[in-house]
Structure 1
């Protein structure tokens, strides 16, 4: 689900701040009447394998600004100059997508509406199977400004649950059910501590989500029977 973006955009606009939108997990998702990925001066989307549109790896930068678009195309392709190919005024990289990857992505883009419809049905099926489980917090189906496309189906163990994600996930694995933890908080990352950032900081909400949240299977080929089994096993783990 997207953040409520309008207050952020208004805050930035009043102060002359450019907004870069992280829409990595929001392909096919709308914020009010606008597609996610169109809200800031620039945005990024991800084509990692578990996204609604995938090219195996990689992603895309979106912008309406011609100058920024030219810069990004340069960084993607070694910053070659148009008139002097091997002459460089900036450092660039080889981030070019192959034609084969692009073809795979375009074919999936044509089926995006179908994929979103299927993902929403899968999310509703999971919710039906897990609702009423007192120790689970389930994802919202919609808010006042967006309707969930269930890029993944994430659950959070409530504080009254004696288990955390690290205890529940192996039990799912014993039943041949894969799962994935939530992202680890930035302020807990050693690489940033080595840079002198976030030291001695505490962010309880982020820490709680990392400790008590995880994702259940959500691939587009998952059947209703498989979803029902995941829900049944998870309930059994939590209610035993």
Structure 2
């Protein structure tokens, strides 16, 4: 059996059909009718008035932050439990990221810590340009509280829904929260355009500004004229064709990921010291990645032992995101912490969760885990004797 990855692209005949159609149309450069159709479909799916297809989720973060006012002399609140792109985009703007801890239950931005950070930063005289909330592993942040906190503080909210397309919170789709939201279509996401992302908003002016900046801030005249610094951030027509086909299949791909989570839940039911992360209250999640939390004292084995055993059988696993405040590049950055992100990083392990995983591959992975658990239980029994 070939190597089994965490979340490889799920590509089929429909994707090939639309990509060939895009190629034959002659629209092979950035922009074109497939981009327009993809943006319309994204906006509809996420309950937004506007969607702007871009070259990456990072590009969407960068442009959104610029338009929300992030720049030199400002700070932006960022969950410490996230991928580095969230924090990098803040630095691109010349602003300072301030890291805030997560809730241990779901790994998302802790509303109480957010309130504390906002009050403290204001007392110290900082201008908070924006708050970013991240929907970790496809589980939406607690927007019911976070939106209210940001509104009371008069600070715009940017929702990083890079991992959460298709998820919901309080009856609303991921991507519908905040002044703006972003999506990622990287190769390992729920849907993929190889590389790509999008900005979502109800603000027409914001959407048009992002379109303008993402096409090198070119003025609408016959010759090339530029009055602002712009960026080459637009999605190509061919990749948008791939995205349209993927979006058509989103629900079936989420259903497949959920079945994988249920399979893992069955394997770990009754195993002391092991919990399936985010399992409680996950009915609205997209199950992008299924992870487990291993208490090494109660389980009598460590997360890394299972990771090693699976790696020996060519199965990819990964710890949860290393918190931003632990990253060398952000050493010394201001942070408001309780230790929750540190603990999740120490005990969490993501397992193969991609919708492209076949039944045989999924069964193979579960069998490896069951063998590992049996061996550890047998070893524990011998130790007890």
TM above 0.5 = yes
SS at match of 1:43: strand
Q: 1:206 corresponds to which residue?
A: 341
Aligned partners of 2:223 and 2:269: how far apart in 1? Answer: 59
Moved more, 128-137 or 80-89: 80-89
Is 1:226 the counterpart of 2:361? The answer is: yes
**How far has the Cα of 1:129 moved from its partner?**
2.1
Aligned partners of 2:303 and 2:224: how far apart in 1? Answer: 51
- The equivalent position to 2:212 in structure 1, one of 74, 80, 91, is 74
- The equivalent position to 1:130 in structure 2, one of 259, 264, 268, is 268
- The equivalent position to 1:16 in structure 2, one of 143, 151, 154, is 154
Q: Residues 206-231 of structure 1: CA distance to partner in whole angstroms, max 9, x if unpaired?
A: 11211221211112122334323322
Could you tell me whether the CA contact under 8 Å between 2:164 and 2:285 is conserved in 1? no
Cα RMSD of the aligned pairs, angstroms, is 2.2
- Report which of the two has the higher share of helix: 2
Unaligned runs of 5+ in 1: none
Aligned partners of 1:205 and 1:5: how far apart in 2? Answer: 19
Aligned partners of 1:163 and 1:79: how far apart in 2? Answer: 55
Higher relative contact order (CA 8 A, sep 6+): 2
Is 1:197 the counterpart of 2:333? The answer is: yes
Q: Residues 72-113 of structure 1: CA distance to partner in whole angstroms, max 9, x if unpaired?
A: 112211111223753323222111211110000011111112
Could you tell me whether the CA contact under 8 Å between 2:288 and 2:354 is conserved in 1? no
Q: Residues 33-74 of structure 1: CA distance to partner in whole angstroms, max 9, x if unpaired?
A: 110100111000110112121101121111111111112112
Residues 21-32 of structure 1 aligned to structure 2 (within 5 Å): 21-32=159-170
Is 1:88 the counterpart of 2:223? The answer is: no
Aligned partners of 1:185 and 1:13: how far apart in 2? Answer: 27
**How far has the Cα of 1:202 moved from its partner?**
5.9
Is 1:158 the counterpart of 2:282? The answer is: no
Unaligned runs of 5+ in 2: 1-138, 377-385
TM-score by length of 1: 0.89
TM-score by length of 2: 0.57
**How far has the Cα of 1:198 moved from its partner?**
4.1
- The equivalent position to 1:180 in structure 2, one of 318, 328, 342, is 318
Q: 1:99 corresponds to which residue?
A: 237
Structure 1 pair 206–164 and aligned structure 2 pair: CA distance change class (3 A): farther
- The equivalent position to 1:41 in structure 2, one of 168, 179, 196, is 179
